[in-house]
Amino acid sequence: MDLKQIKQIIDLMKRSELTEFAVEEEGFKLKIRRGPNGLPVVSTGRNSNSPFPTSDSTPPMALANLANGPAGGSVPPINVGAPQDEAGIGYIKSPMVGTFYRSPNPESKAFAEPGTKVVETTAVCIIEAMKIMNEIQAETKGTILEVLIENGQPVEYGQRLFKVKLG
């Protein structure tokens, strides 16, 4: 199960009366339930063959930040007070809370530098969240103008990572 699927489940829970969701895949269990304050509470576990440690409950804020994107929730948008967007300029934003890495390892070159042409499926960085390395795709077409985050820095949901000239 990937992060986009988890976000879709959380969004579905927010729009409906669904109070609990559980899924078990090969070596992985995920349970999301509505907490007393309405925020999602996540439980993960492992099957006996899984190399992942068991955690009875993940801090709700880790997933609350994930769930409270621009669609709503109690957390204000990250870019409050951000400058007006320029015509023909877009941004690649963080789809999650985590740690930003420009390359797959310290010895490798960066996924994307200023001047790099990207398409929707181009990998531009990695965000580590809960000890899982998530490769982030551009999800837009254009040319990278600027890298807005330093390598190894923490990022928030919706935070701008790259400035892109669209087209």
Q: What is the CATH number of the domain that holds 95?
A: 2.40.50.100
Does residue 109 register a pLDDT over 90?
yes
| pLDDT digits 0-9 by tens, 64-88 | 444 444 444 433 333 333 445 678 8
Q: Does 101 lie in the same domain as 44?
A: no
Structure tokens given for 11: 């969004």
In this structure, how many other beta carbons lie within 10 angstroms of the beta carbon of residue 97? 20
CA atoms within 13 A on the CB side of 166: 10
Structure tokens given for 147: 């890298």
Q: What is the pLDDT of residue 73?
A: 41
CB 73 within 8 A of CB 64: yes
Q: Does 62 lie in the same domain as 102?
A: no
Q: What is the pLDDT of residue 60?
A: 42
> Residue 16 is part of which domain span?
3-67
